């Protein structure tokens, strides 16, 4: 039953995301405008010696960098409200266009990692909990704890060194083969290039889900209602299906949606290691080369992305868990 309290919740969430985004705009703008990177110098790069002071002033003027920061912020804020996110300095196309293109590439990568790590982690967690204390449990726990403390970029480098450089099974990096016309890139090419970064993200993502699922299922198995179910003659796999999975599925799904932030953070690192042309790599470029409009655009977009993940988790809980769904009606 969807009632008024549900709409109240959504309204509160919308207010919260608006205030969050505003605070993010202020902070990011403040930080970037105080960064030591000179956008013009970053843009011109090695040709700096051949560009005179006058030309540099002109570039700065063209970009509006000659105006004081507060005025620039207000100008940017005004156009953002109209839906115009500005133009990226380094890619020289509209920010929204860059984000869209980059995000689609990242989406494939993150999607694969998200589904793989979710399913694998869930299964591993269940196996570990069912075999609590056995050597299988110990291996899964050891694997998860090790992987949970492994930096994504280090794992990416390791996979590259072993699988790409030593064995040559996968390309070294990038989203498509070098030197091939865009029209000639096949789906197989793309898949071939996405495997390693997706694998990197999945391998580390599994750990969290597996450890959480394991602990939750162990708690459930020790609960009074499992004892009672056994006293009623239920046992084995049927008992797990009827009472175990029912009680751990919801927390697992919630955790999975709430993990989008970690996934996004991980993808920044993985894309950098594999030079994969996704949103993460664009973020790094925008930061290093002082591309303020793009960076702010990505900050806002990623905040929305992570927020939606958490919001979906909240809503699923409200809609599916009877204790929250029908709690009010009693």
Partner 1 sequence: MLEVNNLSISFIQYEKGLKQKTIQVISDLNIKISKGEILAIVGSSGSGKSLLAHAILGILPKNALMSGTILYDGRELTTKRQKKLRGNEIAFIPQSVNFLDPLMKVGSQVRSSVSAGEKKEKQRKIFDRYSLDSRTDSLFPFQLSGGMARRVLVASAVVGGAKLIVADEPTPGLHPEVVNETLGHLRELANQGCAILLITHDIGTALNVADSIAVFYSGITIEISPVSDFSGKGESLRHPYTKALWNALPQNDFNPIDGFQPSHIEQHSGCPFNSRCTFKSSECVSKLPLIRDVRFGKVRCYHAT
Which residues are at the interface with partner 1 (CB under 8 A)? 224-225, 227-235, 242-243, 246-247, 250, 321-323, 326-327, 330
Length of the chain counted residue by residue: 330
Residue 112, both tokens: 């694969």
Instruction: Using the minimum distance from each CB to partner 1, give the nearer residue, 191 or 241.
Output: 241
Q: Output phi, psi for 87, to 5 deg.
A: -115, 135
Sign of CA dihedral 312, 317, 320, 326: negative
DSSP E strands in 108-186: the ranges are none
d(CA 215, CA 221): 10
Instruction: Using the minimum distance from each CB to partner 1, give the nearer residue, 57 or 326.
Output: 326
Q: Over the range 96-107, which residues count as b (16 or more CB within 10 Å of their CB) and which as e?
A: bebbebbbebbe
H or E stretch at 11: helix 4-33
State in angstroms the smallest separation of the CB of 189 from partner 1.
46
Yes or no: say if 274 and 196 are a contact pair by the CB < 8 Å rule: yes
Is residue 207 classed exposed, middle or buried when 0-12, 13-18 and 19+ CB atoms within 10 A define those classes?
buried
State in angstroms the smallest separation of the CB of 221 from partner 1.
11
- Local structure of residue 94 (DSSP, 8 states): B
Instruction: Using the minimum distance from each CB to partner 1, give the nearer residue, 78 or 246.
Output: 246
Instruction: Using the minimum distance from each CB to partner 1, give the nearer residue, 161 or 227.
Output: 227
State in angstroms the smallest separation of the CB of 224 from partner 1.
5
Find where tokens 């156009």 sit: 79
DSSP-based three-state secondary structure for 134: coil
Instruction: Using the minimum distance from each CB to partner 1, give the nearer residue, 25 or 240.
Output: 240
Instruction: Using the minimum distance from each CB to partner 1, give the nearer residue, 151 or 327.
Output: 327
DSSP-based three-state secondary structure for 1: coil
Instruction: Using the minimum distance from each CB to partner 1, give the nearer residue, 36 or 133.
Output: 133
State in angstroms the smallest separation of the CB of 233 from partner 1.
3
d(CA 121, CA 127): 10
State in angstroms the smallest separation of the CB of 254 from partner 1.
14
State in angstroms the smallest separation of the CB of 120 from partner 1.
24
State in angstroms the smallest separation of the CB of 287 from partner 1.
45
């Amino acid at each position: 039953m969807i009632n008024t309290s549900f709409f109240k919740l959504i309204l509160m969430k919308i207010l919260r995301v608006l205030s969050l985004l505003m605070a993010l705009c202020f902070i990011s703008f403040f930080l970037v405008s105080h960064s030591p990177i000179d956008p013009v110098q970053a843009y011109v790069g090695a040709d700096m010696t051949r560009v005179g002071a006058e030309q540099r002033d002109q570039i700065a003027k063209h970009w509006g960098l000659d105006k004081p920061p507060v005025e620039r912020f207000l100008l940017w804020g005004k156009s953002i409200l109209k839906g115009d996110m500005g133009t990226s300095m380094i890619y020289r196309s509209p920010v929204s266009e860059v984000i869209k293109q980059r995000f689609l590439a990242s989406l494939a990568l993150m999607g694969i990692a998200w589904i793989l790590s979710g399913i694998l982690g869930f299964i591993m967690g269940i196996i570990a909990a069912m075999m609590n204390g056995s050597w299988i449990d110990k291996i899964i726990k050891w694997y998860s704890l090790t992987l949970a403390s492994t930096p994504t970029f280090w794992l990416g480098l390791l996979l590259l060194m072993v699988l790409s450089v030593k064995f040559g099974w996968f390309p070294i990096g990038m989203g498509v083969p070098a030197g091939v016309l865009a029209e000639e890139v096949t789906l197989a090419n793309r898949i071939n290039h996405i495997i390693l970064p997706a694998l990197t993200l999945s391998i580390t993502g599994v750990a969290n889900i597996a450890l959480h699922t394991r602990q939750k299922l162990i708690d459930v198995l020790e609960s009074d209602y499992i004892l009672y179910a056994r006293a009623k003659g239920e046992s084995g796999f049927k008992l797990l299906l009827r009472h175990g999975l029912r009680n751990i599925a919801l927390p697992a799904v919630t955790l999975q949606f709430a993990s989008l932030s970690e996934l996004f953070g991980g993808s920044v690192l993985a894309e950098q290691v594999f030079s994969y042309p996704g949103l993460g790599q664009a973020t790094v470029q925008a930061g290093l080369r002082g591309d303020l409009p793009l960076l702010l655009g990505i900050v806002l977009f990623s905040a929305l992305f992570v927020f939606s993940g958490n919001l979906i988790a909240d809503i699923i809980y409200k809609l599916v868990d009877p204790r929250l769904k029908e709690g009010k009606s009693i």
